[in-house]
C-alpha cells in the first residue's frame, strides 16, 4: 500500500470516532503479492451497535466491485476501526468472518481514539478453525 492510501484509511477511521468506520480495499492480486491501490471509505450501516460493529451495505459492495472490475482491479479486503481498542480482530470479527466467505480475505484494523488513529495492522482470515493471521502491512 502506498502512503496516500494508508493516510486516507487512517483519516476515515479517525473521522468515525467514537463509532467504527469502515471501507473497502481495492487493488491487484498477482501470485504472492497483493497490492492495495485504492482505499474506498464507505458509510457504516450498522444501526444497533456502531461503537463495536460495522456493516457495509450490499449495494455499496456491488458498486465498488463493478467499478473495480472496470479498471482491472478487484476487492482485496476491508478495513474498519476499533475505537479505544487495539488494532486486532475481535471475537465478533472472527465470528462474522467465519459465517461469511472470508477465507483468504485481508482485513485491516485501525485503532482509534479521540485524538485520532494511532495504528493499523493487517490480518488475513484463514478459516473458521485457524481464525485470523497477521500479515505484514508494507507501506511504500
Contact 89, 59 (CB under 8 A): no
Q: Cα-flanking dihedrals φ and ψ of residue 33, to 5°?
A: -135, 110
Q: Cα-flanking dihedrals φ and ψ of residue 114, to 5°?
A: -55, -30
SS3 40: strand
Q: Examine the residue annotation and report whether 134 is marked as an active-site residue of this protein.
A: no
Instruction: Check residue 50 and report its DSSP letter.
Output: T
Instruction: Check residue 10 and report its DSSP letter.
Output: H
Distance CA 73, CA 28 (A): 5
Catalytic residue among 5, 20, 46, 91: 20
Catalytic residues: 20
Amino acid at each position: 500500500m502506498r502512503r496516500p492510501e494508508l493516510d486516507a484509511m487512517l483519516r476515515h477511521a479517525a473521522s468515525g470516532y467514537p463509532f467504527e468506520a469502515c471501507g473497502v480495499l481495492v487493488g491487484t492480486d498477482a501470485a504472492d503479492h497483493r497490492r492495495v491501490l485504492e482505499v474506498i471509505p464507505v458509510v457504516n450501516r450498522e444501526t444497533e451497535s456502531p461503537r463495536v460493529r460495522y456493516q457495509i451495505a450490499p449495494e455499496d459492495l456491488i458498486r465498488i466491485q463493478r467499478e473495480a472490475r472496470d479498471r482491472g482491479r478487484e476487492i482485496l479486503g476491508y478495513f474498519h476501526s476499533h475505537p479505544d481498542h487495539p488494532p486486532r480482530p475481535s471475537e465478533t470479527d472472527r465470528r462474522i468472518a467465519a459465517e461469511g466467505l472470508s477465507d483468504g480475505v485481508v482485513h485491516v484494523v485501525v485503532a482509534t481514539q479521540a485524538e485520532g488513529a494511532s495504528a493499523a495492522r493487517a490480518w488475513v482470515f484463514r478459516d473458521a478453525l485457524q481464525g485470523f493471521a497477521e500479515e505484514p502491512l508494507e507501506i511504500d
